[in-house]
Structure 1
Amino acid sequence: MARALFIIDVQNDFTEGGALGVDGGAAVAAGISEYLEANPDRYDLVFASRDWHDGTNDNGGHFAEGAPDFVDTWPVHCVAGTPGAEYHPALDTSDVDFHIQKGQGKPAYSIYEGTTEDGESVKDLVASHSVDTIDVVGIATDYCVRASALDALADGKRVRVLTDLVAGVAAASSVAALDELADAGVVVTES
């Protein structure tokens, strides 16, 4: 059996100064890099997801045509090939085994909704590598981290969210997301 780390959406547009910047995003990027450096043998596999949206359409209603509601519609962000879609520079991706792109032409919050550039699904990769335990870190606690952890749990994995290595859109919704995850059976703990 194998242990994996899911690094969720640590991208320029989701950190301070980005199109949907989250307070503490840059610190999360640096913290994940420090954590991996201090624990080089902890994970058998490391996955990193990125929103990788098509800039030529509204991505299935994900991009707001007018004012976004910040629940179902959002400002344009993480358009494939733009600086905003790139990993934050403080995130060292040298240990990443699989780069996952999600949200091409449709809303996608969970890493399980993405694929590698070769079209391999996360579910298939996790199964083929006998992953049974997954730690989840990244941005945003109350959206993509939440969705990814719930999908990993639904996939039958033991799941932890490392609270010192996540940042959320809002404090109240982040606390609610962590409570929901804990109630569902995810271990919510510090690294």
Structure 2
Amino acid sequence: MDTSQRRALLVVDVQPTFCEGGALGVTGGDAVATRVADHVRTHRDRYVLVATTQDWHVDPGSHFSDEPDYVDSWPPHGVAGTAEAELHPALGEVQADVTIKKGRYDAGYSGFGGTDEDGRDLAAALRDAQVTHVDVVGIAESHCVRATALDALEHGWQVRVLTDLTVPVSPELGQAARAEMRSAGVELVTSDQA
């Protein structure tokens, strides 16, 4: 490991609720879960910290709707305490150093809006581990991955999104998210290039 870089891996919302058959299933979600698990298993030594985030909605207000617009409101998903809100079974052997639950009482797109079981937020966990660089993977690229990557950049970290370890809600939304992230300064690379 390059000692000048202390890199963290942020595994964003790899949960059954966002995979095929889930409340907000994204085509390719299960495959991304498997690829993320393989990446962690193969490259765990690259990271000083691995963090997972989960949508963990208790009462997110207007984020949930019986008549969702799929922009600001959505069908119920990632409901706290349900099997769909747990980490995807493919991640069963991933020993995360930090587990962040987000969106309890709000939309919670970014992993930086949640906390671990001790009430510590993601930024504090990264600072505590003296992280300098962040890789972001997970579901969905167009929403929570984008929001988490942009917030990581805003907090001052060097940020990469590993494009083969994420999937957007739709190709069009993915293209827009990649353009926004790239223009903000997020590096977009494949896991093989990383």
Q: TM-score range by the shorter chain?
A: over 0.9
Aligned counterparts of 2:165 and 2:176: Cα–Cα separation in 1: 17
Give the superposition deviation at 1:168.
1.0
Task: Specify the SS of the correspondent of 2:109.
Answer: coil
Task: Specify the SS of the correspondent of 2:84.
Answer: helix
Give the superposition deviation at 1:189.
0.7
Deviations 1:14-45 (A, max 9, x none): 00000000000000100011111111301000
Give the superposition deviation at 1:93.
4.7
The answer for unaligned runs of 5 or more in structure 2 is none
Task: Specify the SS of the correspondent of 1:125.
Answer: helix
Partner of 1:137: 137
How many percent of aligned residue pairs carry the same amino acid?
Answer: 48
Task: Specify the SS of the correspondent of 2:138.
Answer: strand
Aligned counterparts of 1:99 and 1:72: Cα–Cα separation in 2: 25
Give the superposition deviation at 1:146.
0.2
Q: How does 1:1-191 map to 2 (within 5 A)?
A: 2-54=6-58, 57=59, 59-64=60-65, 66-191=66-191
Give the superposition deviation at 1:2.
1.7
Task: Specify the SS of the correspondent of 2:91.
Answer: coil
Aligned counterparts of 2:146 and 2:44: Cα–Cα separation in 1: 25
Aligned counterparts of 1:116 and 1:187: Cα–Cα separation in 2: 27
Aligned counterparts of 1:72 and 1:174: Cα–Cα separation in 2: 17
Give the superposition deviation at 1:87.
1.1
Q: 1 or 2, which has the higher helix percentage?
A: 2
Give the superposition deviation at 1:95.
2.4
Give the superposition deviation at 1:105.
1.3
**Which portions of structure 1, spanning 4 or more consecutive aligned residues, are displaced by more than 6 angstroms?**
none
Aligned counterparts of 1:90 and 1:138: Cα–Cα separation in 2: 12
Aligned counterparts of 2:25 and 2:177: Cα–Cα separation in 1: 19
The answer for unaligned runs of 5 or more in structure 1 is none
Aligned counterparts of 1:18 and 1:48: Cα–Cα separation in 2: 19
Aligned counterparts of 2:133 and 2:176: Cα–Cα separation in 1: 23
Q: 8 Å contact 2:41–2:94 — kept in the other structure?
A: no
Q: 8 Å contact 2:158–2:186 — kept in the other structure?
A: yes
Q: Which amino acid counterpart does residue 27 of structure 2 have in structure 1?
A: D
Give the superposition deviation at 1:159.
0.2
Aligned counterparts of 1:147 and 1:94: Cα–Cα separation in 2: 23
Aligned counterparts of 1:95 and 1:88: Cα–Cα separation in 2: 13
Q: TM-score, normalised by structure 2?
A: 0.94
Q: TM-score, normalised by structure 1?
A: 0.95
Q: Count matched residues.
A: 187
Aligned counterparts of 2:104 and 2:121: Cα–Cα separation in 1: 14
